[in-house]
Amino acid sequence: MARMEASGIAELMLSMKEVAQLPDSVASEMLQAGGNIVAAKQRQHYNAALRDTGTLANSIKVSKMKTKSSGLRFVTVYPQGKHHTYKDKNGKIKTATNNDVAFVHEYGAPKRGITAKGIIRLSNEEAAEEANSAQFAVYDKFLKSKNL
């Protein structure tokens, strides 16, 4: 009768549990790697599409990893900070954020004669595959550190 022996099963099971519970440090590194690719692509498209000082493009940042109560971990990539000040119709001084300006360029403002450019959507779509590859490279490094 044939007989089969296996060694190392306990170590494999422990490693699989570790993989299933991806450490925050690895998840953060993965999300930052993908976010950096997306941010670079957005900056590139803003610089090509807009003839301005580069304030908007240079304001695009990747946030630190956040975790929702459901356990979902994520980063955000968007223009941050103040863009300019202006007076509203009542003469009050207001501040427009870079995020506000990006929104107007993304979706347009027909009454102001600003057409929708869709820069963020286009950038995100173009960066998707490269961002996924960057994230997978981090994950693969993690798996190799566990001898998987």
Q: In the structure encoding, which two tokens stand for residue 32, read together?
A: 């930052």
Amino acid at the residue 17: K
Q: What is the mean pLDDT of residues 87-112?
A: 94
- Residue indicated by tokens 């929104």: 103
Which pLDDT tens digit goes with each residue over 11-49?
Answer: 545 455 655 578 899 999 999 999 999 999 999 999 998
41 with 134: CB under 8 angstroms?
no
- The pTM for the full model equals 0.81
Reduce the secondary structure of 101-135 to three states and give it as a string: HHHHHHHCEHHHCECCCCHHHHHHHHHHHHHHHHH
Q: What pLDDT sits at residue 4? A: 56
- Residue indicated by tokens 């997978």: 136
Which pLDDT tens digit goes with each residue over 53-84?
Answer: 788 999 999 999 999 998 889 999 999 999 99
Q: What pLDDT sits at residue 130? A: 97
- 12, containing H or E segment: helix 9-20
Q: In the structure encoding, which two tokens stand for residue 148, read together?
A: 């998987």
